[in-house]
Amino acid sequence: MYGYEISSALKKSPIFFISEGAIYPILKRMTEKNWIEFYWVDSMEGPRRKYYQITEEGRLLLTERMAKYKEIYDALTLLGEGVTDE
């Protein structure tokens, strides 16, 4: 996806709000950390576009973080099961 597509997709989510102006510095930092990479594609509708894709390092990080988020979710679910309406 290119930057505007990423921004538009995030806007469709009720829990994410990242302004278009903020997405590009985030993408730059992620590129610098080698979590994503980019390539240029010429566009018939205007200037060429920078497309981003996840790297192997980024995929590994994502897998690790998703596992950690699942651990947190599972722990909160267990805590929630112990709560009563008393």
Question: φ and ψ at 40, to 5 degrees?
Answer: -95, 145
Dihedral-angle region of residue 46 (phi above 0 means left; psi in -120 to 50 means alpha; beta otherwise): left
- State yes or no: pLDDT of 86 exceeds 60: no
85 band by pLDDT with thresholds 50, 70 and 90: low
Return the axis-axis angle of helices 20-32 and 3-11, rounded to nearest 10°: 120
Q: For 6-18, how does the pLDDT look when each residue is reduced to its tens digit (9 = 90+)? A: 988 888 888 878 8
Q: For 13-52, how does the pLDDT look when each residue is reduced to its tens digit (9 = 90+)? A: 888 788 878 899 999 999 999 999 999 999 888 899 999 9
Tell me the whole-structure pTM to 2 decimals.
0.78
